[in-house]
Amino acid sequence: MRVRSSEEFLRELKARGARRLKTVRFRANRSTIWSLTQDATVLNLHVAYRRAPSGILDAFATIVRGRGYRTAAVKEAAERVRNWGGLDPVMEAVRASHAQRARRAVRRCADDAQVTHCCATPAQRAYLRALYRYLNQSRFDGLLPKDVPVRLSNRMSTSLGHIVPGRDRARGRFVVELALNVDLMLEGNGAERMDTLLHEMAHIADWLFDNQYGHGDSWRKWARHAGCRAETKYDRPVVRRRRRTQQITRVPPLPLALRRQAA
């Protein structure tokens, strides 16, 4: 099956009636398979769809013509593109490649982990370790690994966090890292910081116990169990740095229950 360029994919969708569409972009995502942005004029697609058959292009044309709204036709088309047999093997390869790169970036995975590209101060790392372990016990019944490296990133622009799932023959499924946007450490982001960390920890549980990575039913089950919002988009306002180069050293207060334990 031939590999289409972005321009070829766009031409074929326009020929199917998706005349509003201006741009098709292919991305090597680990979980997101498609999205419509910029008032439904830009279609972002997983790279696997470069090889999609004509029936899948028909489905994407339906999605674009419906502007992604959850009509019966769009839902049926979205189900078809998700269940296309060529998608999952490519996604697994992308995840494996990303996990390999991330493992090379991790210097140590013990309690005093120092991770390349981590902008956290020692005090912030201690805070994140304590908060992760507290939430593991209080929200996940202590089921999650205690040694998942948690880092802060000053490179995220819109994302608030992510995990990197890993798999190898010796260890099976594991988690390479959990990363949070450093903006979450700013004053005023207390609820957002807690919700994002629980969101990512639900991904850890979903990966380790249900062999799933995404925002499907099993992830929603874990999110509800943890008490965070079982939604993929965060629509509450988040306090942001004034400049991307600004260094954030603030260490937020730990939850009251955790402070009482330490007293």
3-state secondary structure the chain: CCCCCHHHHHHHHHHCCCCCCCEEEEECCCCCCEEEECCCCEEEEEHHHHHCCHHHHHHHHHHHHCCCCCCHHHHHHHHHHHCCCCHHHHHHHHHHHHHHHHHHHECCCCCCCCECCCCCCHHHHHHHHHHHHHHHHHHCCCCCCCCCCEEEECCCCCCCEEEEEEEECCCEEEEEEEEEEHHHHCCCCHHHHHHHHHHHHHHHHHHHHHCCCCCCHHHHHHHHHHCCCCCCCCCCCCCCCCCCCCCCCCCCCCCHHHHHHHC
Higher per-residue confidence, 204 vs 91: 204
8 Å CB contact between 184 and 222: no
Angle at the Cα of 227 from the Cα atoms of 222 and 231, rounded to 5 degrees: 70
User: For residue 216, what pLDDT band results from cuts at 50, 70 and 90?
Assistant: confident
Q: Decide if pLDDT at 113 tops 80.
A: no
Render pLDDT for 87-96 as a digit per residue (tens, 0 to 9): 989 988 887 7
Question: Residue 18: its pLDDT value, please?
Answer: 95
Instruction: Give the closest residue to 234 by CA, choosing from 171, 128, 156.
Output: 156
Domain boundaries, the chain: 6-89, 106-262
8 Å CB contact between 16 and 9: no
Q: Using CA atoms, how far apart are residues 208 and 224, in angstroms rounded to an integer? A: 17
The average confidence (pLDDT) of the chain is: 87
Render pLDDT for 41-94 as a digit per residue (tens, 0 to 9): 999 999 999 999 999 999 999 999 999 888 999 999 999 999 999 998 998 888
Question: Residue 256: its pLDDT value, please?
Answer: 84
Domain 6-89 sits in CATH at: 3.30.2010
Q: Using CA atoms, how far apart are residues 13 and 25, in angstroms rounded to an integer? A: 13
Render pLDDT for 114-148 as a digit per residue (tens, 0 to 9): 445 789 999 999 999 999 999 999 999 999 999 89
User: For residue 104, what pLDDT band results from cuts at 50, 70 and 90?
Assistant: low
Q: Decide if pLDDT at 200 tops 90.
A: yes
8 Å CB contact between 215 and 33: no
Question: Residue 157: its pLDDT value, please?
Answer: 77
Q: Which residues is 166 bridged to in the sheet?
A: 174
